[in-house]
Structure 1
Amino acid sequence: MPTTGTAPQRFIAKEVTVRCATLCWASDAWSAIISFFWRSSTPPLTPAMQGYLRGWHHDCQKSVVVDNTRAWLHAIEMLLHIEPEAKLIVCLRDLGQIYGAIEAQHQRTILIDFVDYLADYDRFGRADALFAKDKAIGAPLISLHGVPDLPTHVQERLFFVRFEDLMAQPVACLSLIYKWLGVEPLTINADQLAVGVQESDSHHDMKYTHKQASKITAPKRHEISPRIQTLIETAYAWYYQLYYPQLKKRPVTHRSAATLFDNRQQ
């Protein structure tokens, strides 16, 4: 999810000096590789994919590699098939604040369109579009929605951390993450972080900028329309019950993220 996925990865990479790399899957190239092996009498797909994955990180001398690719949650069972020791850290955030962060960034870069052309929408329409099953918020939600249906041994490879908790108690949250990963504990100085190499902003056509800070500072809460917030909480009550049970009770209605605002005309 935007504005959330890089936080644990950054702290682990910078403070534990675990190498961070993003593995990009080129679908056309990958299809060609699979097609090539499939033509053989005994297609060695598993070792081929294992070789590709491990070859990507062949020069890493650390015991742990952090790969910042949110699509792994959608393909978690495939990932565990080719790399049984893999673990996934999933960073969560209040859905209204995720939308609010995207809207706030749009207002700061209002002359630059989104890669999927949402600039001409009004705020309500933009929120509706962002929660569609193939958009920035909706697509990851589909992966999260399927987590309860995963086998227990797969769910045990997932660690969920709330962005709000990470900002409020970074040392405590990271201690839990280190313990779960099985790496040596390390106490970080939340007020003096190492600043690394600046990430490229070109992937989203400069719409979203990557900034690094030398200390952890919780972002200001984004003010969004009460109507939009209420509709988000109603449509995704399952999300709030699973990951934000401390908030007021909401009726659970598991549903697809394909369309958020069914009551548009009300």
Structure 2
Amino acid sequence: MNRKLHFISGMPRSGSTLLAAILRQNPRFHAHMSGPLAGMFRTLLGGMSDRNEFSVFISNARRQRVLRGLFENFYADVPQEVVFDTNRSWCARLPALQTLFPDSKVIACVRDVSWIIDSIERLVRQNAFQPSLIFDYQPGGTVYTRANGLAGPEGLVGYAYDALKEAYYGEQAPGRLILVTYESLVTKPKETLQALYAFLEEPAFPHDLDHIHFNAEDYDRKAGTPGLHYVRPRIEAVKRTTILPPDLFRRFQGDAFWKDPSQIRKEIPVL
């Protein structure tokens, strides 16, 4: 590609949309909410596998050229010099990304799982008359069944969490992966951005953290979850108590491995 390419990944409801909204203030950067490119990547990769009767004609070199072409063509009309593509599944693609884009970095947004589940449950209750895409538009269930579905290996949270751990403990992570905690992003945004820019080897930019603009209302309405990608115009940490039952909230405490000294990799920065 004739531009730099980086990736925003990690956990849902952990600040990835907020981070993209901030980064796009820089005129050199293109960033947005989660998009379709990762799904297209997965579909192409499967279509070029041995389930294709003509796969004998598709070498790894051709696969790589096709996949690079996907990115090049998707962003062909983007004038910015640096592109950030957002999707939770990029954390599960580090070996491929290292080969396709050796200079790319992956920013993984993270947050305590209990508060992620809490945040999604709040959205469900705020939109009580609109079944959500998050649960395949299925009404019904309880806070427990919703939490179980989210945390399962194929659930919105469980898949992202497993992909994050795969990336964090993988051999491609040093020098390529950085974790940005939701707490740091909303309580120490200037310091967090300064460290992030240094990791990306980009010159500093004076972001306006009191006037952040982002609008995905049409997508959120279609997803049956108004407010899903809402970003406050001013960064602030909002203190609140959980709406989850105490036993359910406690179930996920301790899952933040990036806080556990016994599990931390010192070579992977955590902001």
SS in 1 for 2:29: coil
> Which amino acid counterpart does residue 52 of structure 1 have in structure 2?
L
- State how far apart, in whole Å, the 1-side matches of 2:66 and 2:125 are: 46
1:68 maps onto 2:78 in alignment? no
Which of 72, 79, 83 aligns to 1:54? It is: 72
Report % sequence identity: 19
Residue 2 of structure 1 contacts residue 98 of structure 1 at CA under 8 Å; is this kept in 2?
Answer: yes
Structure 2 gap ranges (5+): 1-10, 264-271
- State how far apart, in whole Å, the 1-side matches of 2:196 and 2:234 are: 19
Structure 1 residues 204, 197: closer, same or farther in 2, change over 3 A?
closer
C-alpha displacement at 1:143, in angstroms? 0.7
1:18 maps onto 2:29 in alignment? yes
Counterpart residue number, 1:140: 160
Counterpart residue number, 1:231: 251
C-alpha displacement at 1:33, in angstroms? 5.6
- What are the superposed Cα offsets for residues 104-135 of structure 1, whole Å, 9 maximum, x if unpaired? 11111011223335641121222122101111
Which of 38, 41, 44 aligns to 2:55? It is: 38
Which of 151, 166, 191 aligns to 1:131? It is: 151
Residue 91 of structure 1 contacts residue 160 of structure 1 at CA under 8 Å; is this kept in 2?
Answer: yes
Counterpart residue number, 1:99: 117
The TM-score with structure 1 as length reference comes to: 0.79
Q: Which has the higher contact order (CA 8 A, sep 6+)?
A: 2
Structure 1 residues 140, 208: closer, same or farther in 2, change over 3 A?
farther
- What are the superposed Cα offsets for residues 153-173 of structure 1, whole Å, 9 maximum, x if unpaired? 433211101001110011110
Give the count of matched residue pairs. Answer: 241
Counterpart residue number, 2:189: 170
> Which amino acid counterpart does residue 7 of structure 1 have in structure 2?
L
SS in 2 for 1:192: coil
Counterpart residue number, 2:201: 182
Larger radius of gyration: 1
> Which amino acid counterpart does residue 19 of structure 1 have in structure 2?
H
Once superposed, which parts of structure 1, at least 4 consecutive aligned residues long, lie more than 4 Å away?
Answer: 27-37
The TM-score with structure 2 as length reference comes to: 0.78
Residue 16 of structure 1 contacts residue 186 of structure 1 at CA under 8 Å; is this kept in 2?
Answer: no
- State how far apart, in whole Å, the 1-side matches of 2:43 and 2:126 are: 36
SS in 2 for 1:91: strand
Counterpart residue number, 2:169: 149
1:87 maps onto 2:105 in alignment? yes
- State how far apart, in whole Å, the 2-side matches of 1:157 and 1:199 are: 33
SS in 2 for 1:77: helix
Which of 13, 35, 56 aligns to 1:3? It is: 13
- What are the superposed Cα offsets for residues 48-98 of structure 1, whole Å, 9 maximum, x if unpaired? 211222222223333311111221111121122211111111111111111
C-alpha displacement at 1:46, in angstroms? 1.3
Residue 91 of structure 1 contacts residue 161 of structure 1 at CA under 8 Å; is this kept in 2?
Answer: yes
Structure 1 residues 190, 176: closer, same or farther in 2, change over 3 A?
same
Cα RMSD (Å) of the superposition? Answer: 2.7
